[in-house]
Structure 1
C-alpha cells in the first residue's frame, strides 16, 4: 500500500511536517508495511518556505532586513538547487505576527523588508522569484518593497515620500532612476489565493485592513489612497491593474508587483505542487491523505484541499481529508472521497489546539480510518 500525505498545517497548533509524522505513525500501527510518502504542503502564507524547502533541494539563507515597523530583524528565504530561483515568504519580513497588537496600523506598516530580501537574493545571483504573500501586516500596495529596490515615490511638489500605507494618497510622481538594473531580467511568480481587487467594497482595505489594526476612518483613508495610487499607475506607467483578480492581495501587494515587476499571480497550492513534483508522487499511489485545521467551503475554492483534490481526481487516486473541524455547509465535496474530523468528543478550541492532545487525536483518527480500510479489504478478498 502506497499512501501519499499532503496535509496543510493546523494553524496555531501543528505544522505540515508534524502532522505528517503523526499520520504516518498512525498508519503504520495498522499497516506496518505501508509505503508512506510525505509531501509537506502550504499555500502562500506562513509555512510556505519551510514546507517547500523540505520537499526540494536547496538552501535556507538568513539576511538582515527590517520588519513592518522598520525595526531590524533577521529573516529567511530559500534558494533552490539551480542557484537562480529564490523562495520568498512575505510573512518573514512583512507578516502580521511581527507587529505587536497594540502597534498594528496599516497606515504605518511597510513591505520594505520584503524588498530587502529580494535585493539580497538578487545580489546572490537569483533571477526567478516565487513569492508567497499571505499573512501580511501591510496595506501599502508593495511601495515599501519597491522603495527597497530603488524606486522613489514623490508628492506633487517632487518631495520624496516616506513609508507605509499613508503615502498612497500623496504619490504623484515615480522616480525609477535608482532602480536595481537586474530587476529587468527577473521573473516573479506570486502565490495568491484570493481574488480581491485593490480598492472598493471587495478591495484590500475594506476586506483585510481591520485585522491589521485599522479602524473605520483608516479603512476609508487607505481605500481612497489606493484608488488614487492606481490612477497614478494608469497615468504614469500605463498600468491598469486595480481590478485584476488578486491585485488587492496582501494590501495591494499583488497589484503592485504586477504593475512594477510584471509578476504573474498563481494559486499558492498549485505553485507548491508543481515545485515538489506532486504528480509524480501519485504514480501507483493507493490513497492520498490531505486536510487542514478547519475544512469549509473555502477549502474547496483554491486552497490546499482544492489543489490536491484536482490532482488526485485527474490521476484517479482516492482522496481522504482530515480536519480539526468540518463546516455544516459541506454536504458535497467534489474530488474528495471522504472527510473526517479528528475530534472525538466536545472540547474547547484551546483544548483541541494543545499539541499533545492534537497529536493523540490525529493518530487515533488515522488508526480508525485504516482499520476500516483493512476491514473492507479483508472482506473483499
Structure 2
C-alpha cells in the first residue's frame, strides 16, 4: 500500500542539450507520482544565469517580454527578447539570447570573429526604456571579447594605434590602444547592473576565459594563445585608462570575459546565479512551517567540480538548514571513488544507460529520468 502525504521539492537546472529545467521537473514529477500518487510536489527552476535564465525568471515573477532588434555573435540582424518588470523598472537580459553559442552553426564558431555587441544593444534598449536596474544572466556565450561588444553597444569606442575605431571582436583585443567614452549613453550612470553568474574563473591565466572555455567555442590552440594575449592587452589598456584592473576578480572570466567588461565599463557587481534564483523565487518559503520529505536537484553532468559549484552547494545548504534529505539526478556522472554523502547528498543518480550511446541517453532523457527516480523511490520506500 502506498504512503500518502509525501512532500517533495524539486530545484533542478536544465540537462543541457537534452531537457529544459521545466522538462526535468515534469519527468521527475511523473516518476514520483508513479510511486506516491498523492504526493505534494513543489518546484523551483535553478538557473546559473546561462541558457534558460529568462524562462526561470518569467516562471518566478510577473514580467512582460520586450522584443528588440539586435544582432547575433557575428553581427547578423536578430530579433531578440528580454524581460521587463515595469513597476520595479528592472530588466532581465540573458547574454545567450544574442551572444550565445547556440546561435551559430558549428562551422561558424570562432571567438576571434564573435562579439557580445548584440547583448550591448539589448542593455542599451533597456536603459532607453527607463531601466534603473538590469540583471544580465551570463553563460552559453560564443564569445571571448572581454565584454568589448557590450561596451561598444553602449557608446564606448576602442581605438587602435592609428586612432581608428575597432570592431568589438575577440580578434581585435590585441589592437586596442585607447578607450573613448564621449558617446556613452547617459542613462548608464543612473542604472545598477548586476551580472548573474556562477563561474569563478579570473580573466587571465590557466584558469582564465581563453584557457578554459575558448576551445568549447571553436578556438584552436593557437587562437587560445592569441585571445589570451588580447585579453591581457585589454586589461593593460583598462589599467592605464581607469587606474584599476578587475582581471583577478573571481568570475571576471565568465562568458569569455564579458563579466570583466560588465564590471569594468558598466560598474556591474556579481551575484551567484543559484543564490539569485533561490532569493527571487523565495524558495525558502517552501520549507518554512511544513515538513518536506525529499529535496531533489540535478543537472546534465555532475563531477567533483560540479559538486563544489553553487547549484549543489546552494540546494544542499537549504536541505541542511531545514533538515531535509537532498538527492541529485544527472545525465552523466563522472565521479570515481567519491562519496555523495560528503557533499551533503543522500545519493546521486545517473540516468545514462552505459550499454547505450550518449546520443540515446540524450534523446530519451525524459523517459530515463522518470524511470530512474521511480525505481529509486520504490527501493527507498522498501528499505525504510
- The aligned length equals 375
Match for residue 353 of structure 1 among 338, 342, 362: 362
Q: Deviations over 1:209-233 (max 9, x none)?
A: 2222222332222211111111111
Counterpart-to-counterpart distance in 1, 2:138 and 2:220: 23
For residue 136 of structure 2, what is the aligned residue in structure 1? 131
Counterpart-to-counterpart distance in 2, 1:82 and 1:107: 40
Contact preservation (8 Å) 2:246, 2:260: yes
For residue 22 of structure 2, what is the aligned residue in structure 1? 17
TM-score scaled by structure 2?
Answer: 0.92
For residue 45 of structure 1, what is the aligned residue in structure 2? 50
TM-score scaled by structure 1?
Answer: 0.93
Counterpart-to-counterpart distance in 2, 1:210 and 1:334: 30
For residue 164 of structure 2, what is the aligned residue in structure 1? 159
For residue 324 of structure 1, what is the aligned residue in structure 2? 331
For residue 212 of structure 1, what is the aligned residue in structure 2? 217
Counterpart-to-counterpart distance in 1, 2:22 and 2:139: 19
Query: Is 1:263 aligned with 2:272?
Result: no
Contact preservation (8 Å) 1:241, 1:255: yes
For residue 98 of structure 1, what is the aligned residue in structure 2? 103
Match for residue 316 of structure 2 among 284, 299, 309: 309
Which residues of structure 2 form unaligned runs of 5+? 1-5
Give how far 1:41 is off. Answer: 2.1
Q: Deviations over 1:143-197 (max 9, x none)?
A: 1111111111122332222220122112222111111111111112212222222
Alpha-carbon distance change, 334 to 152 in structure 1, aligned in 2, over 3 angstroms: same
Match for residue 375 of structure 2 among 368, 371, 374: 368
Please tell me the root mean square deviation across aligned C-alpha atoms, in Å. 1.8
Match for residue 299 of structure 2 among 283, 292, 300: 292
Q: Deviations over 1:38-91 (max 9, x none)?
A: 212221211121122112221222211000100001122112364412111111
For residue 337 of structure 1, what is the aligned residue in structure 2? 346
Counterpart-to-counterpart distance in 2, 1:103 and 1:362: 33
Contact preservation (8 Å) 1:290, 1:322: yes
3-state DSSP of counterpart to 2:60: coil
Give how far 1:345 is off. Answer: 6.2
Give how far 1:344 is off. Answer: 5.6
Match for residue 110 of structure 1 among 93, 112, 115: 115
Query: Is 1:142 aligned with 2:147?
Result: yes
For residue 72 of structure 2, what is the aligned residue in structure 1? 67
3-state DSSP of counterpart to 1:190: strand
Counterpart-to-counterpart distance in 2, 1:245 and 1:155: 29
Which residues of structure 1 form unaligned runs of 5+? none
Contact preservation (8 Å) 1:192, 1:268: yes
Matches within 5 A, 1:239-250: 239-250=244-255
Contact preservation (8 Å) 1:61, 1:79: yes
Alpha-carbon distance change, 112 to 344 in structure 1, aligned in 2, over 3 angstroms: closer
